Structure formats: structure tokens, C-alpha cells
Structure 1
Amino acid sequence: MARVGGRSTSLAWVVGLACVAVVGALAWIAAPLLPGTVQFVGDQLNPPTSGPAAGDGDEASSGEMGECRDLYADALWTALVWTPDAVLTPSTDAPESSASGLLDALSPRVRFTCSWTSAEGAISTTLADVPADAGAIARTALPALGFACDAVDDRTRCIREGEDGARETIEAGRGVWLSSVQDGWQPAGYAERIADRVWTD
């Protein structure tokens, strides 16, 4: 085969090797991201059997909830997971709350606590079982601590807005407790969206 005039074989080899080196370096940099990407894609394609399998309107009864993933509709879950530096740490820790006296009185039996951290701040959410009259007790006790309480269907929702941008939400009804403390991280309608899933009939 005739050679094309003006082409240098040695230069072509040097450029080719440089391209291979660049591709190799990019692959090496991306390698640590591969396990997390595979896990996320797997979670999206094969959600837990106890949780939802499609859109933001998915419903789950509070009686079926046994892990953090069950608490979030797909759209909210995706928004949380894709927040920069987001990390979820599940546990059975006691609720994070400024209403320590109410916690002592109700002694909630924690199902799970979902502690999120990210570049935007932190969120701690707890789902627990409490006495059937917990909503009425919360409505009586929490206003003195700076909470504004309202009746929402057959439960009580109490919200306390902190001067530093923190937000604490406590909901109780039908023997279920749901509380969240949001420190700087305020996904749109976070507390209301998870409550709608917990108290879905």
C-alpha cells in the first residue's frame, strides 16, 4: 500500500500511544465510581419487594414499612440520592428531636431512622410505633415548645421553624410516629411527601 505523503509513522505512533494513555487515565479515575453507579442502577431497576416499583404516586402502607427505601416515592428518592455528596445511614437510633419530654412520655418503638448527609446539609427521619393517643398528646404538649400544630386527616402535624434555617416536623396518629429534623437541606415538600406515604390507607 502506498504511503500518504506528508505523514510520519513515528509521529502517528506517538499520538496513538498518547491517546491510549489518556483513555487509560480516564478509566482509572472513573473506576471508584463504578460500584456506586452499579448499585444505584440496580436499585432503580430492582426496587425492594416491600417498596414501590414505579412513579411518584406509588403508595405504601405504614404497616409494610421496614426500611428507609420504603419511606420515599421514586422521585423523592432519586432527588435525595443525586444530591451532591449524599450519604444515607440507616439505623434504629431514637428520634432526633427537641421535644425530649414528649419522647420520654411516649417511648416510641423505633422501626428505623434514616440519617442523610449531603453538601446541602443533613436530614434525620424516624418512623416509630407509639400509643394511639400520641397525636392528642403532641397537640397539647408541643405548642409550648414553639411548634405550630394542626390536624391533618386523623393525625397531628407539628412544625417548628428554627432561626438558623432548621426545620423540625413531628406527626403522630393511628399509633404511628414520624419525625424529621432538617438542618439546611430542604427538599421540596419533604416532610409532607413522606407523611403521605406513611398514612396511606
Structure 2
Amino acid sequence: MIGGRNGWIAWPVGILCLGVVGGLVWLAAPGVPGAVQFVSDMLRTGSAQAAGGSATPQPIESIGTAADDDCRSLYPDGLWAALTWQSRTVLNQSQKPPATSAEAVRDALAPEVLMTCAWRNDDGGTVTTTLSRVDAAAATIAGEAFSSSGFSCTALPGSVVRCTKTAGDTVEDDVVAGGMWLSTTAEAWHPDGYTDALVQRLWPR
């Protein structure tokens, strides 16, 4: 024992310190899976850049279905990292039809669903995105069709039509271009720049 130290005080203080450290470890535990995923994504991106100069996103035409591809192909690196970094975020991949409230438009577009990526965060908020093939001329009728269902539509450069609708805490965002339809429905969770990042990744300008 170091001179001048009281053992009756040192032992309780040491035990208290161990308790504090244990508490911090317990609080940090939920973030470990997200941290592992984040580091894995960063390493994969870094390896791709080292091998080929800069990572080239998979062209939209070559994105497969939920049966032979996965949602990672749909998302740009930054957005993917932001979503997977969230504590206790769950991703469910399927080929369910677009979750849009414009059912008549969905029936008219007759989408061939490639994949649906349904995210749920720790607070119960959800973001569900579906990528589908549609008729090449769909963009010419999508704006009017969505507008008649209460959506606000905008024509973007490159023959891209984007239609949005907000009802309470639910936001729908639909983009149709080049024979593809990207449909997103977000409820109680609205990641910043979500659809903008997907549009830039799928239809770069």
C-alpha cells in the first residue's frame, strides 16, 4: 500500500470505479453491431477505391432482384452508412409491391418489383423503398396519375418525374424515370436527404 493511503477508503473507491466502467460498457453495447457494420462498410469502400481508384456504383440497369441481389446495391455509400449506423436499425429485404397509397397508380404502372428495402429504427419509425421496372413510357403518365391522387409532382432534368405527398407523419416520395420506379414511404422517420441521395445514385446528373 502506498504510504498515506487509507485502505478502508481505497477499496470502496476502487469498486465504485469498476462499477462506473461496467455501466459505460453496458450503455455502449447496443452500438457495437452498428459500429462493426460501419467499419466494415468503410473498409470495403476503401478497398474498392484502392483497387480501382474510385468506387463506381452499380448501374441501375444491372441491379438484380431480392432473390439474387441485395439492398446494398441500391444505396450510395454515405446513405448506407448513415442508416446502418443507427442503433438497433433493422432491414428487411423482400419483393413486396410499392407501399404507396396511390393504389390506382400502382395498378396502372404494373410494376415488376426488383427489391423492397424496409428499414425500422429503434423508435418504431419506418422507411420502405421499392425499386421496380415499369413501361419505358411510364414517366409521361406518372405525373398526371400521381397528381390526381393528391401528390405534388415536379419534372426533373433527364425525363425524371418526382411526386411527393405528406399526410400527418407519413411522407411518400415517388420517382419515375427510364423505365424504373423508385417508391419510398416513410412513417415517423425521415432521414435527411434520403430520396435525394438515391436519385443521385440511380440517375446521376
Q: CA deviation at 1:95?
A: 0.8
Counterpart in the other structure of 1:39: 37
Distance 1:196 1:122 in 2: 22
Distance 2:57 2:151 in 1: 28
Counterpart in the other structure of 2:66: none
Counterpart in the other structure of 2:180: 176
Question: Greater CA radius of gyration, 1 or 2?
Answer: 1
Residue 131 of structure 1 pairs with residue 135 of structure 2: yes
Q: CA deviation at 1:126?
A: 0.6
- Comparing 13-22 with 164-173, greater Cα deviation is found at 13-22
- Comparing 150-159 with 86-95, greater Cα deviation is found at 150-159
Residue 155 of structure 1 pairs with residue 159 of structure 2: yes
Going from structure 1 to structure 2, the CA distance change for 1:21 and 1:99 (only over 3 Å counts) comes to closer
Q: CA deviation at 1:26?
A: 4.7
Going from structure 1 to structure 2, the CA distance change for 1:184 and 1:31 (only over 3 Å counts) comes to closer
Distance 1:188 1:33 in 2: 21
Residue 74 of structure 1 pairs with residue 87 of structure 2: no
Distance 2:30 2:87 in 1: 16
Going from structure 1 to structure 2, the CA distance change for 1:3 and 1:43 (only over 3 Å counts) comes to closer
Distance 2:28 2:87 in 1: 17
TM-score scaled by structure 1? 0.76
After TM superposition, the structure 1 = structure 2 runs for residues 1-201 of structure 1, keeping only pairs within 5 Å, are: 4=3, 6-9=4-7, 12=10, 15-16=13-14, 19-20=17-18, 22-24=20-22, 26-27=24-25, 30-31=28-29, 33-47=31-45, 59-65=57-63, 66-83=69-86, 85-118=88-121, 119=123, 121-200=125-204
Distance 2:156 2:96 in 1: 27
Q: CA deviation at 1:45?
A: 1.2
| Matched length | 195
Q: Is the 8 A contact 2:115 2:131 kept in 1?
A: yes
Amino acid in structure 2 at the alignment position of 1:173: A
Q: Mind listing any 5+ residue stretches in structure 2 that lack a counterpart?
A: 64-68
- Comparing 135-144 with 156-165, greater Cα deviation is found at 156-165
Provide the identity percentage. 38
Distance 1:33 1:141 in 2: 43
